[in-house]
Structure 1
């Protein structure tokens, strides 16, 4: 039986931004700390965490997929600011140790990973999924594994047909002229909530936020980089999610 889970960020992470009184929120009310991953949302699921409505839609979708022999497994869902920052620092250290300069390392990271405070995974609406029946050998979030004879191609074909009927839409498509994050056939978003959350998110002063955060390598966040990152990595997504 699924139980209610609460995900709490650390006091250190929360202290960076002014505390905003928490309240139950719906599609019209999104406190800024929730939007940047430093809040304390109510999340549901076992082995993954989503907002209640998104969780319930996912359970229905998983149930229907199972009828076709597909076992949808969430490999990533809600991430706090601290979690995303850990990913950022791990990749930054790896790429700089491999010989890239800071600016090159940042560009390499944002091919697939977001700057902390800017991830859609902060919202409890987005999931990265695989088909557990396809196995989990090596890196699972690899585009070619979702196409052709890949282990997750049956899942991808099913999602292409049915995902939107449950409210889930692919975020980073393979449209040729799309910029920002590379194609991710595994990343879906629960549109009924994530669309209004994105609208609220874009009203934040993102430039100031990114400049104030003391992230690893953030001294190399130029005005040009931040503007391009917002336009391409945050907003150049599936138009159905705007």
Structure 2
């Protein structure tokens, strides 16, 4: 455990794990998340334990000269469905189009952002110190590469995020999802949500929910649902040991 980390209650972690259910897994509820008071928007929500871990990490980052902020946290099914509908409606709804969309955007019900354990981060100080303060966050790779406004914070987090339980699930190494250097996951909770996708009943539940929601492209998705989950939900990076303690 790093000196900067404030230990979280193991009892509270056990309670949060015990409360995990299928509705949370697929984004059908928001009962498990709360507003992140230090975020720029009241729309940013995470699970209480994740807020606590994030706050501890943010304070450490501030001491190191960075202003760690959240661009996006919890996202419910309806929001993910709106993203999906917009992208699929603009395509020819072919298998190739499906793969292209899934490379960048999750199928509604399978987004890790449903869990309240994930957030997309940026360095607010990095943007305010750039020439031309009109520059806005785009969540693209070059913002986290050398010379980018989030690069130094990204490097700092490479060394420290694990101390607070966070890691990068998407590094673009062989899985179906593009690399997302801005996406952090809280391993002590996220690993339990991910494990639910190993259970056939979770896949069945999602399939029934997608039909009830009249998902655009349902015939294309339904016949491939198990494969989609295997490729895009289960083939992610393994959390480092440090992040799971």
TM-score higher than 0.5 here? yes
1:69 Cα offset (Å): 1.8
**Which of 24, 28, 32 is the matching residue for 1:38?**
28
**Which of 194, 199, 206 is the matching residue for 1:198?**
194
What TM-score, normalized to structure 2?
A: 0.79
1:115 maps to which residue?
107
Distance 1:201 1:235, change over 3 A: closer
What TM-score, normalized to structure 1?
A: 0.80
Q: Tell me the number of residue pairs that the alignment of Structure 1 and Structure 2 aligns.
A: 212
Alignment of 1:187 with 2:211, yes or no, is: no
Native 8 Å contact 1:28 1:196 kept in 2: no
| Deviations, residues 146-189 of structure 1 (Å, cap 9, x unaligned) | 112111110110110000001111110143xx211110001111
Matches of 1:75 and 1:90 in 2, distance apart?
21
1:210 Cα offset (Å): 4.8
Map residues 1-242 of structure 1 onto 2, 5 A cutoff: 26-39=16-29, 40-46=31-37, 47=41, 48-94=44-90, 96=91, 100-135=92-127, 137-138=135-136, 140-175=138-173, 178-212=174-208, 213=210, 214-221=214-221, 223=223, 225-240=224-239
Matches of 1:165 and 1:190 in 2, distance apart?
11
Matches of 1:89 and 1:187 in 2, distance apart?
23
2:3 maps to which residue?
none
Native 8 Å contact 1:36 1:119 kept in 2: yes
| Deviations, residues 50-92 of structure 1 (Å, cap 9, x unaligned) | 1111101101111111112211111110011111111111222
1:204 Cα offset (Å): 5.0
Native 8 Å contact 1:32 1:204 kept in 2: no
| SS of the residue 2:154 aligns to | helix
Native 8 Å contact 2:33 2:116 kept in 1: no
Could you say what the CA RMSD is over the residues aligned between the two structures, in angstroms? 2.2
1:229 Cα offset (Å): 1.4
1:33 Cα offset (Å): 1.0
Moved over 6 A (4+): none
Distance 1:101 1:81, change over 3 A: closer
- Unmatched tracts of structure 1, length 5 or more: 1-23
Native 8 Å contact 1:211 1:221 kept in 2: no
Matches of 1:222 and 1:82 in 2, distance apart?
18
